[in-house]
Amino acid sequence: MIFVTVGTHTDGFTRLIMTMDELAGRVEEEVVIQKGSSKYIPRFAKSFAFATNQEIHELMRSARIVVVQAGAGSLIEVLALGKKMIVVPRLSRFGEHFNDHQLELALVLADKGVVALTEDINVDLMLQALEKVEMAPAFTGEWRQLTNALRSQIKIWAQERERR
């Protein structure tokens, strides 16, 4: 199963949900989407808006691959489960978030080799990302990598805040 989670942010992430729904119509594997605030109703994938933390955890645990927005909590949970994941950050230019901190965090983690990252999404790019992540080993690195990446990003955010 491929599990897609967009978190609890009030802005929709329709760009990802529509892409993953289209992908669900082209693959044999079950795709389950936590669609959050998006108004789009998937036609090919199973979907729901929100669930408890425990329910999301169980879906992540049972998934073969997790496609996740780049919220720190979601990333940490998927990494803790040792799951293969594709990270798709919410981007401000699409109205998916108020700034691009998710992209900044995802870039740091991708640079550290902790996650597979894709910013531009369409079905063909997502199929390529799935193929790439299937061949990559699941995250088994030390938590130090993640902690260092998060600390680096926090320093960047603090510097940006000081410049304002």
pLDDT at 137 > cutoff 90: no
Q: What is the pLDDT of residues 107-128, one digit of tens each?
A: 887 777 777 788 888 999 999 8
Nearest to 78 by CA among 90, 66, 91, 89: 66
- pLDDT, the chain, mean: 86
pLDDT, position 139: 63
pLDDT at 39: 95
Q: How many whole angstroms separate alpha carbon 98 and alpha carbon 100?
A: 7
Q: Which tokens is 10 given? A: 């009030």
Report the distance separating Cα 9 and Cα 6, nearest Å.
8
For residue 79, pLDDT over 60 is answered with yes
Q: b/e string for 1-11 if b means 16 or more Cβ within 10 A?
A: ebbbbbbebeb
If you average pLDDT over each of 8-12, 96-100, 122-126, which comes out highest? 122-126
Domain 2-163, what fold? Rossmann fold (3.40.50)
Locus of tokens 């998710």: 102
pLDDT value for 162: 79
Say if strands 84-87 and 65-68 run parallel, antiparallel, or are unpaired.
parallel
Interval 46-69: pLDDT, tens: 999 999 999 999 999 999 999 999
The two structure tokens encoding residue 118: 């894709």
pLDDT tens for each residue of 15-46: 999 999 999 999 999 999 999 999 999 999 99
89 vs 117: which has the higher pLDDT: 89
pLDDT confidence of residue 148: 66
Cα dihedral 130, 141, 105, 75 sign: positive
Q: Which pLDDT band, with edges at 50, 70 and 90, does 151 fall under?
A: low
